[in-house]
Amino acid sequence: MRAFYGVTLPGAMMLGTAQYPSPTIMAEAFRASGASVATVSLRREAGGGQAFWDLIRGLGLRVLPNTAGCHTAREAVTTARMAREVFQTDWIKLEVIGHADTLQPDPFGLLEACEILCAEGFHVFPYTTEDQVLAQRLVDAGCRVLMPWGAPIGSGMGLNNRHGLRSLRAAFPDIPMVIDAGLGLPSHAAEAMEMGFDAVLLNSAVAQAGDPVAMARAFGLAVQAGALARDADPMGVREMGVPSTPLLGKAWL
């Protein structure tokens, strides 16, 4: 797996910390998933206080603070600066929301915030779309990771634009990429890994499941399966059927 700002993670799953039925279930879900990164919003940490922060640190995972809920570049930059002080890390998942219904990123605000934060030494993980022009601008600004959405946040729809995501992956072969948002089923995560993405980030699909711990375990296994399948060099798609049993040696009557 590619390194994220020089850090090679032990696993390809990143998991959010919001919406779980209880802190205990959240901790059990993280352990079942095999996730190597926990995403935490500054708002969530403030609401949970020291007990929540102690729980997150007790998981022994890399923490990725995010600017969830920010709608302007200024708000996102301020939140990122506060998060760096609270969580003691230069990593930041940057969200600048531009549409209230789809929760699509604001490309203009996102790029503006990225330019500021990269210049200040942040290691930015931008929540973006599959747009290649925007991706290039983010890379030019200093981003060394891209996090294209699979579908709207919390929708569970999976990978809405497979062609666009494949094209983006092919256009930036050396940039680590994480599918972020919209995954609802383990099969969605497996498909993302099969397509060549380096990790997946999800929250609602696990936290809002009837059994979050079992769903976390299922996603963890799916991520592993997808990565193994990708590395195994899958066969290409064919337009016609090809017999798996050779015709050579067949008895002709």
- Secondary structure of residue 128 in the 3-state scheme: strand
* Rounded Cα gap, residues 152 and 164, in angstroms: 15
Closest CA to 147 of 162, 135, 133, 156: 135
Q: Which residues contribute to the annotated binding site?
A: 154, 181-182, 203-204
250 catalytic residue (yes or no):
no
Of 93, 123, 188, 217, the catalytic one is 93
Q: One digit per residue, pLDDT tens: the chain, 253 residues?
A: 679 999 999 999 999 999 999 999 999 999 999 999 999 987 655 555 677 778 888 888 999 999 998 999 999 999 999 999 988 999 999 999 998 888 899 999 999 999 999 999 999 999 999 999 999 999 999 999 999 999 999 999 999 999 999 999 999 999 999 999 999 999 999 999 999 999 999 999 999 999 999 999 999 999 999 999 999 988 888 888 887 776 666 666 6
Cβ–Cβ under 8 Å, residues 66 and 93 = yes
Q: Please, what are the domains in the chain?
A: 15-232 (3.20.20.70)
Question: Which residues are annotated binding-site positions for 1-deoxy-D-xylulose 5-phosphate?
Answer: 154, 181-182, 203-204
